[in-house]
Amino acid sequence: MKIGLQASAMLLPLILLGGCNASQTATSNEAVANEAGANAAAGDEARSPEGKRYLNQPLVSEIFTADPSAHVFNGKLYVYPSHDIDAGIPDDDLGNQYAMKDYRVLSMDRPGGEVTIHPVAIDVSQIPWASKQTWAPDAAYKNGTYYLYMPARDKDDVFRIGVATSKSPTGPFVAEPMPIPGAYSIDPAVFTDDDNESYMFFGGIWGGQLQRWANGSYNAQGGDTDLKQDDKPALAPKIARMSADMKTFAEKPRDVQIVDAEGKPILGGDHERRFFEAAWMFKRDGKYYFTYSTGDTHYLAYAIGDNPYGPFTYTGRIMEPVQGWTTHHSIVKFEDKWWLFYHDTQLSNKNHLRSVKMTEMTFNPDGTIVPINPFKD
């Protein structure tokens, strides 16, 4: 990923992690997060390096979290984020600095309520096929079992997607011995429709390696960014219907087509509208909203279709660029309101040390989303 704000965070002595597990000693990464939170201006007075006021404050400051996947289980909100750490790796376009190695679940009884940071749900060492970089996850529930979908590099340095199960929404989760056959790249997002059929959306270019799968099999020489074909259809995210056991695909993955108002595919050179990563699907009033990140232009965008497979017509932006390089989100309805979960670098000013936030999302009468500015001014 490209380099954004590079203000330095002080390295601090180890401190005890509050609000999570009083008997557990925090790592240096968590200490940095704690200190950053303590030093930030309080509440609405917190300002960016450019002097802008943030629209929302981080859900937690004890650890760094990103890529939030939010779900409502048993009347509570659960957030499945990445757990950012500082591994001392410089920023690069392949995202090597994002060296996450475990997952921690957040939960709250209601929006604005107290947030609980749960113990480690699963560590990369407990995923038999994985070697490193447990990136943005997702979760699902079916028939008494919770499923955690996890992208990580395998032993050959290729991103795959695996699944782990638990009887609790917060884990611990037990991983399947092998990744999901036919799943690759990053950013799994599992959507369950009204008929109880579930679908996985996945994929991400650049560090997510989707461009290396352009011909259906992995090609290590497939490039580090995209297909470099600006006048041709952009690389498409993938969709596959899940099997009844939620652990495998019931079909071969197919492209998710994003088109313009005339029905023509969004082109590779259209960086303000083409898919980069962070697929997320939700359904409202019979319409399917495919949402995603545009990556190097830093927008959260959406397209609307009539079924889970699309095609999806590009409709607009959900959120303007946040502070930091990456933007990755989820959208969930809780009771009678819709909520956008996202992240930024407010507490660290470092691209790889991010903090999850949430804000209410509203709709116009025609079903379009009212765009959100992550700053108040």
Residues taking part in catalysis: 67, 277
Lookup: tokens for 173: 């989760």
pTM: 0.90
- Pair 372, 71: CB distance under 8 Å: no
Half-sphere exposure of 304 (CA within 13 A, CB side): 14
Q: Residue 45 has what pLDDT?
A: 72
Q: Residue 55 has what pLDDT?
A: 97
Q: Residue 23 has what pLDDT?
A: 33
Of 308, 313, 310, the C-alpha closest to 283 is 308
Q: Distance between CA 136 and CA 354 in Å, rounded? A: 12
Q: Distance between CA 98 and CA 366 in Å, rounded? A: 39
Could you say which residues of the chain have pLDDT below 70?
1-44
Q: Residue 29 has what pLDDT?
A: 59
Q: Distance between CA 108 and CA 101 in Å, rounded? A: 24
Lookup: tokens for 148: 């955690």
Q: Residue 261 has what pLDDT?
A: 98
The alpha carbon torsion through 176, 254, 157, 121 (nearest 10 deg) reads: -40
Q: Residue 336 has what pLDDT?
A: 95
For 70-102, how does the pLDDT look when each residue is reduced to its tens digit (9 = 90+)?
999 999 999 999 999 999 999 998 899 999 999
Burial class of 248 by CB neighbour count within 10 A (0 to 12, 13 to 18, 19+): middle
